[in-house]
Amino acid sequence: MSALIFDILLLVGGIGVLYFGAEWLVRGSARLAASLGVSPIVVGLTVVSFGTSAPELVVATMAALGGKPDLAVGNVMGSNLANIGLILGLTAVVRPLDVATRVVRREVPIMLLVTALIYPLAWDGGLSRVDGFIFLGVLVAYLLFVFRTVDEEVPEILDEYQEFMEAADKLERNVDWRDLGLVLAGSGGLVLGGRAIVEGALAVASSLNISEVVIGLTVVAVGTSLPELATALVAAMRREADLAVGNVIGSNIFNVAAILGTASVLAPLDFSPTVLTRELPAVLILSVLVFPLLRTEWRIQRWEGALLLGSYLGIGFWLL
- Name residues of the chain where pLDDT drops below 70: 1, 26, 29-34, 36-49, 100-104, 150-177, 235, 238-244, 296-297
Exposure class string for 215-233: b at 16+ Cβ within 10 A, else e: bbbbbbbbbbbbbbbbbbb
- The predicted pLDDT at position 46 comes to 64
Global pTM? 0.81
Q: What is the dotted CATH code of the domain comprising 3-319?
A: 1.20.1420.30
Q: Would you say 270 and 67 are in contact if contact means Cβ atoms under 8 Å apart?
A: no
pLDDT of 43 = 60
**H-helix or E-strand containing 6?**
helix 3-35
Q: What is the pLDDT of residue 241?
A: 60
pLDDT digits (tens, 9 = 90+) for 80-127: 999 898 888 888 888 887 776 566 677 888 899 999 999 999 988 899
Determine the Cα–Cα distance for residues 70 and 267; give it in Å rounded to an integer.
12
Q: What is the pLDDT of residue 266?
A: 93
The SS3 of residue 95 is coil
Extents of the domains making up the chain: 3-319
SS3 percent helix, strand, coil of the chain, rounded to 5, is 85, 0, 15
